[in-house]
Structure 1
Amino acid sequence: TMALETLSVPQLELEAVIGFNGYVFSGLRVHPDREHLIYPLGCTVILKRIKDGKQEFLHGHTNNVSCVSVSKSGSYIASGQVNFMGFKAAIIIWDYAQRKIYAELLLHKAKVEALAFSPNDKYLVSLGGQDDGSIVVWNIETKQAICGSPASAQSSGHCLAVQYSNTNDNIFVSAGSGTLRVWELDLPNRKIWPTECETGLLKRIVKLLFQISDDDQFIFCGTTSGDIMKITLNTGRLSDCGPNKRKYSLGVSALRILKCGHLLVGSGSGAFTLCSTTNFKILKEVQLVKGVTSIATRGEGQQFFVGTEAAQMYRFSYEDFKAELISTNHNNAVKDVAIPFAISELFATCTEEDIRVWHIDKPIELLRITVPNITCNSLGIMADGHSIISAWNDGTIRVFAPESGRLMLIIYNAHRMGVTAIAGTRDCRRIVSGGGEGQVRVWELQHQGHRLLETMKEHRASITCIKIKSNDKECVTASSDGACIIWDIVRFVSLQRMITNTPFRTVCYHPEEYQIITSGTDRKVAYWEVCDGAAIRELEASQSGAINSMHISQDGKHFVTGGDDKLVKVWDYMAGAVTYVGIGHGGSITSVKICDNNRILVSTSADGAIFRWKLRER
């Protein structure tokens, strides 16, 4: 579908991404050139220069990237993806120097679980997901599969990870739930032969991470039980296990061997330690936010980078072992994005529990406002830039100062079934809110509080979007009951009603305010006359999935849509045709906004990503 929709349309230029998928185990890597971090986000593989944060993007996957590997020489990057049941999941080998696709490999079904390069860049070994269960060895030069085998015996568990020997192109190891095998490639016969490792009475699940020592003498396996198994590679027998007294809470989730011989260990509880490989004694320890999922060393290991489930990246030096937070990102769905009127240096996003303010040119977090255990459904920034208004699922409206995050005003019990949409007037004196029960309420902001002016009760289901006319006298509300209503917010009466048989998700006024456009679950964009509510045009906006958000440029020439098809589309308003398509989001697009200078577009998605695109006149 994505290929059909984007075949003849030029692509939007992606300028920057705020996001890191901390749930991809070993997803964060340092390139051997020591200059770039490599990590996946959605359908994109990101190369981020360590020195100045400059980003480059590798586009080619059609669904979420599930694993990443970098060859020892640094010539190649390999990435695998997930796909829908019954479809094959692609592996892409990238030419690092050219930043282009070197080969696309298709054999595994539904998901590629893990990838590993052989030490001399001869072979790539790939592991399929639970619905595939096979290991395949690929010849990098010929771009062909050499051989394959089921990853584990039928009676044993599910294989989760693979890693190549550091010195031998014909030896690699696989591990997982109830399985740990050393494999040997028999190239003349095009076979791979497994040897089961013996752990005796010790039964452990190797979650996702294990490491082979540089001299290929030992395999170190992190387990879900919170300890580390040390196995002799050439015999496949258990050599040691520890620590004995204090196991890692929530299991060992990341592991890395340093050149000096010590181990870096991350746990599911966020504990990050340096420990000895001889007796597993903990030498240094730091507590991070949420579980550690990636450890990447730079050069000889004097510096290393750590990724966590909280979508945060940390930098450490070996000497002081102090955590330096270098990147913060959303780790769950972004619900809404707001850009101040006539200001484009900042924008705000909201998600479960928090609101964050970002710098639009440098993708860095400037402010975080956290309200535990409550979800922010919608937000806006008042026209004067002095307050952030926000709608929360506990039925409360909260107003914050954008510089400090100070709570300026709270309106309790604003809506009975949660506040689902919110907007502020241009004069900054009133707020219009919508609730899950379908009511629309107008609030007056006063010097020392607020006053409810009126409640309007014509919608029968939750309000999904509110837009206010520039004269502050009218507003339009979209609802999941299939109605859009234009209201007089001075006399508090409805002026026009637009009805279809589809739940509306979003509505926009054209800047000249004689028309509105709507969209929703029927995948269409409809144009309506404001004066009489007549439908005048309908566009097929998506071949798959609802349209969740729309925004019109200040000059009215273009509008942008985003939805469940994961595509950002820029439209010519008069022609009703797509002029650009943005590809890269790995989750459903939740919000899109055009900056007032019309040169930048911000889109957010359900996987926590924030994309910044460059808008060009066509």
Structure 2
Amino acid sequence: DDNNMALETKDVPRLELEAIIGFNGHVISGLKVYPDREHLVYPLGSTVIVKRITDGKQEFLHGHTNNVSCLSVSRSGLYVASGQVNFMAFKAMVIIWDFAQRSVHAQLLLHKAKVEALAFSPNDKYLVSLGGQDDGSIVVWNIETKQAICGSPASAHSTGHCLTLQYSNTNDNVFVSAGSGTLRVWELDVANRKIRPTDCQTGKLKRTVKCITDDDQFIYCGTTSGDIMKINLKTKLLCDCGPVKTKYSLGVNVLRILKSGDLLVGSGCGIFTLCSRNNFKTLKTCKLEKGVTSIALRGEDQQIFVGTEASQMYSITFRDLKAELISTGHSCAVNDVVIPFGTSELFATCSGEDIRLWHIDKPKELLRITVPNMTCNSLDLMADGHSIISAWNDGIIRVFAPESGRLMISINNAHRMGVTAIAGTRDSKRMVSGGGDGQVSNRQHQIGHQLLETMKQHKATVACIKIKSDDKECVTASSGACIIWDLVRFVSLQTVIANTLFRTVCYHPEEYQIITSGTNRKVAYWDVFDGSTIRELEASQSGAINDMHISQDGKHFVTGGDDKLVKVWDYMEGAVTHVGIAHGGIITSVRICSNNRTLISTSADGAILRWRFPHPPSS
């Protein structure tokens, strides 16, 4: 897969990435404050993002071929290390980055399928890495020579599964590992190239440890049961466990020890607390959206940055634990993106149970509309700017006001097997929707949302709808066929057929051709009048093309799909001019801004990427 990507992108100019919206809140301790206290470091997709705290300026570390699964920053700040996931039979890479140069210092390949955790020794001599469940090994690396010193199975028992690592704060030769059925203190013997574990004794207390922190006297372990174990580092014996009465709901995900010895605790239910080191009594608390997965300190007793599973970042003041939301993102697949016609300032996305409106220049969320426990499949912004129309999996079309997010109307039972695609006409008077039942419906938008006609010819889910600029025709894509419909007489004018699951279709701006793509990995040009194929391009070497969009001047189009590559094509030449490599997940949608300056792409991991479009309008 990686070789395919290398071949496909060889010698093709790279797209310039301008901004990434979001962060992977599922990576435990994935949000870090860099030692200069001026930058945040965090992963999204296959990219490590370095963001300046004062003005939000982003830089990107590219090198991973799949989603980043763990992150560590060395105490001096010389190095950042990141590990990734990979497919089952493949090795998962660890990259050590030279932070000052923003470049790769070393690529380390030993673990299979996933790198679970990473930790630097206090003096930047060594990096210890932990493989995922299918690998189960711990490896110690020499940072200077970029070589493995030694390795060992992480757990003594085949049933044990290690989840986390923590290096000693003062000793380059001591680190701790913990997980399900395993809690061990390791000593590194460099001369003999060995690591020797000592199991900690917890008596009858059996716990799965998710996170650890230590102050060189005691190890504190946060557990899935919602309590914290305190282990004496010298004797390796359990000396306390609490809180006794009110355990943390959904477990303790992340712990940080302060100089005072008190603990910051992030739980799976979104409760963030400061608790006493003596009896684990809660001193201060605040509630955040979804499980807390990262706690990063900017100076002692000053500012705390917290990341959650909802892909939100908070800045929390130490004094009163008051939380301010500083960054938001989607925590699951983005299903659609739309840039309103004729504007270049806003765009909207839908993902899971919400629709969000964003400012295109600043990665800032302007509005969020949530429909709990439902999935929004598709959306459009009406050209007059008065409404957002949206397609939902419960078969309802919901229309919202774009300023307030107020629900203006719901059209129940719009499609039997969920509404899967939607588009509004240029005059804002009608909307066309498609469903899982293969039906295409044409409705009045303003007057009572009256159903004008239902057109049934597709045998499967309608994946995409595009309306011609004069509002008299539209084209719909489904499995095996794309159909061009007359929206005045409600009849089909033309059907193009191919042995593929069509995912996307576009009119060329001159509207005498359409282009299609889907699971057969080809982009096909078709004649609108007689439905004949004009040409076919091999668009991807691995995986379906899920979306594409043509620039307003018709000279270029962009594709994105399962190969995680954003490709810009010359329409006449049928050749790739630029390629964008930064997505860690399957690309779900792509849009070119109407001024030809910006390109937005989204993916299945919740990422929204903003690229500089390489072919600005000729002035």
Please give the range of the TM-score, normalised by the shorter of the 2 chains. over 0.9
Partner of 2:97: 94
Q: 2:371 is paired with a residue of what secondary structure?
A: strand
In 2, Cα distance between equivalents of 1:24 and 1:445: 43
Partner of 1:33: 36
In 1, Cα distance between equivalents of 2:347 and 2:126: 45
Q: Which moved more, 1:454-463 or 1:547-556?
A: 454-463
Partner of 2:597: 599
Partner of 1:519: 517
Quote how far apart the aligned CAs of 1:156 are: 4.9
Q: 2:42 is paired with a residue of what secondary structure?
A: strand
Partner of 2:475: 476
Contact 2:23 2:43 in 1 (8 A): yes
Q: Which moved more, 1:389-398 or 1:334-343?
A: 389-398
In 1, Cα distance between equivalents of 2:399 and 2:44: 32
In 1, Cα distance between equivalents of 2:123 and 2:574: 53
Structure 1 residue ranges without an equivalent (≥5)? none
Contact 1:341 1:385 in 2 (8 A): no
Q: Which letter maps to 1:62?
A: T
Does residue 208 of structure 2 align to residue 210 of structure 1?
no
Q: Which moved more, 1:449-458 or 1:559-568?
A: 449-458
Query: Structure 1, residues 179-211: CA drift from partner, whole Å, max 9, x if none?
Result: 11111111111111111111112111112x100
In the alignment, which of 108, 112, 117 is matched to residue 115 of structure 2? 112
Quote how far apart the aligned CAs of 1:456 are: 1.1
Quote how far apart the aligned CAs of 1:102 are: 0.7
1:163-202 alignment to 2 at 5 Å? 163-202=166-205
Contact 2:587 2:603 in 1 (8 A): yes
Query: Structure 1, residues 57-89: CA drift from partner, whole Å, max 9, x if none?
Result: 100000110000000001100000011112111
In the alignment, which of 50, 56, 67 is matched to residue 64 of structure 1? 67
Q: Which letter maps to 1:39?
A: Y
Partner of 2:79: 76
Partner of 2:550: 552
Does residue 440 of structure 2 align to residue 440 of structure 1?
yes
Q: 1:374 is paired with a residue of what secondary structure?
A: coil
In 2, Cα distance between equivalents of 1:446 and 1:250: 47
In 2, Cα distance between equivalents of 1:350 and 1:385: 17
Contact 1:115 1:125 in 2 (8 A): yes
Q: 1:502 is paired with a residue of what secondary structure?
A: strand
In 1, Cα distance between equivalents of 2:500 and 2:422: 22
Partner of 1:219: 219
Does residue 565 of structure 2 align to residue 567 of structure 1?
yes
In 1, Cα distance between equivalents of 2:407 and 2:610: 29
Does residue 497 of structure 2 align to residue 499 of structure 1?
yes
Q: Which letter maps to 1:476?
A: V
Partner of 1:273: 273
In 2, Cα distance between equivalents of 1:180 and 1:17: 37
Query: Structure 1, residues 421-480: CA drift from partner, whole Å, max 9, x if none?
Result: 111111111111111111111111235x22111111111111111111111111111112
Contact 1:341 1:384 in 2 (8 A): no
Partner of 1:413: 413
In 2, Cα distance between equivalents of 1:539 and 1:316: 52
Q: Which letter maps to 2:597?
A: R
Contact 2:596 2:615 in 1 (8 A): no
Query: Structure 1, residues 505-552: CA drift from partner, whole Å, max 9, x if none?
Result: 000000011110000100100000111111010001111111110000
In 1, Cα distance between equivalents of 2:598 and 2:580: 13
Contact 1:156 1:179 in 2 (8 A): no
Partner of 1:11: 14
Partner of 2:388: 388
In 1, Cα distance between equivalents of 2:157 and 2:281: 37
1:251-266 alignment to 2 at 5 Å? 251-266=251-266
Quote how far apart the aligned CAs of 1:140 are: 0.6
Count of residue pairs the alignment pairs up: 613
Q: Which letter maps to 1:606?
A: A
Partner of 1:371: 371
Partner of 1:311: 311
Contact 1:570 1:580 in 2 (8 A): yes
Query: Structure 1, residues 213-247: CA drift from partner, whole Å, max 9, x if none?
Result: 1xx11110001111111111122111211111211
In 1, Cα distance between equivalents of 2:274 and 2:446: 56
Q: What is the identity percentage for the equivalent residue pairs of Structure 1 and Structure 2? A: 78
Contact 1:415 1:436 in 2 (8 A): yes
1:522-537 alignment to 2 at 5 Å? 522-537=520-535
Quote how far apart the aligned CAs of 1:393 are: 1.3
Q: 2:445 is paired with a residue of what secondary structure?
A: strand
Quote how far apart the aligned CAs of 1:155 are: 4.4
Quote how far apart the aligned CAs of 1:260 are: 2.4
Q: 2:465 is paired with a residue of what secondary structure?
A: strand
In the alignment, which of 462, 486, 492 is matched to residue 488 of structure 1? 486
Contact 1:72 1:119 in 2 (8 A): yes
Change (3 A) 1:416 1:156: closer
Structure 2 residue ranges without an equivalent (≥5)? none
In 2, Cα distance between equivalents of 1:353 and 1:186: 52
In 2, Cα distance between equivalents of 1:322 and 1:233: 34
Contact 2:72 2:118 in 1 (8 A): yes
Q: Which letter maps to 1:521?
A: T
Quote how far apart the aligned CAs of 1:299 are: 1.6
In 2, Cα distance between equivalents of 1:617 and 1:412: 43
Does residue 47 of structure 2 align to residue 44 of structure 1?
yes
In 2, Cα distance between equivalents of 1:110 and 1:92: 15
In 1, Cα distance between equivalents of 2:202 and 2:485: 72
**After the TM superposition, which parts of structure 1 deviate over 2 Å for at least 4 consecutive aligned residues?**
none
TM score, norm. by length of structure 1? 0.98
In 1, Cα distance between equivalents of 2:560 and 2:315: 34
Q: 1:33 is paired with a residue of what secondary structure?
A: coil
Partner of 2:157: 154
Contact 2:284 2:320 in 1 (8 A): no
